[in-house]
């Protein structure tokens, strides 16, 4: 998903058709909500002129996210339609539009595809069927307790204070 400016100018007459599958599994380290992500299918075309390159892309894939209620895995398919325009000259770039200035002598669409996938993550996602076991009852550094357990449990920060009152009453 990377082309040099020279390659793109050679394809100006016949155009450029894009159909690739890219691995973006490194997004799991960037956003911890993504538990798994399938390889992303990118297809589209490029309109090439002397000073600008316009890519019309359709990005499709599936990511696995936690359910907002029960934290079980939810498969979330997505399809993104986008048009990305790259300009060779900075005076052609309109700051109000979503355009890019070509940096160096090549255009790499992979960082833009990754950014668009990250922006596609919903605020909440819910599982279709409730989990069989319900929500998890414990995790790293936490656990669900009943009200009786809460009343019996003494906050470790205040344990020394409880001993102070016991000594005073004697």
Angle at 58 between CA 57 and CA 62, to 5 degrees: 140
**Least confidently predicted of 78-82, 98-102, 123-127:** 98-102
Residues 148-165 have a mean pLDDT of 75
- The length of the chain in residues reads 170
Question: Above 80 in pLDDT, residue 161?
Answer: no
Q: What sign does the dihedral 108-112-118-120 (CA atoms) show?
A: negative
| Residue 144: predicted pLDDT | 78
Q: What pLDDT sits at residue 170?
A: 54
Residue with the bigger pLDDT between 159 and 147: it is 147
- Residue 17: pLDDT band with limits 50, 70, 90: very high
């Amino acid at each position: 998903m990377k082309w040099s400016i020279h390659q793109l100018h050679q394809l100006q007459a016949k155009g450029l058709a894009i159909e690739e599958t890219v691995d973006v599994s490194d997004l799991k380290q960037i956003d911890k909500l993504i538990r798994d992500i399938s390889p992303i299918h990118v297809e589209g075309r490029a309109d090439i002129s002397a000073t600008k390159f316009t890519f019309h892309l359709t990005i499709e894939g599936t990511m696995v996210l936690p359910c907002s209620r029960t934290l079980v895995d939810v498969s979330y398919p997505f399809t993104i339609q986008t048009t990305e325009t790259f300009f060779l000259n900075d005076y052609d770039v309109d700051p109000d539009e979503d355009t890019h200035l070509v940096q160096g002598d090549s255009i790499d669409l992979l960082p833009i595809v990754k950014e668009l996938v990250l922006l596609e993550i919903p605020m909440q996602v819910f599982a279709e069927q409730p989990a069989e076991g319900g929500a998890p009852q414990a995790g790293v550094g936490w656990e669900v307790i009943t009200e009786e357990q809460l009343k019996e449990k003494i906050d470790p920060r205040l344990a020394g204070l409880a001993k102070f009152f016991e000594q005073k009453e004697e």
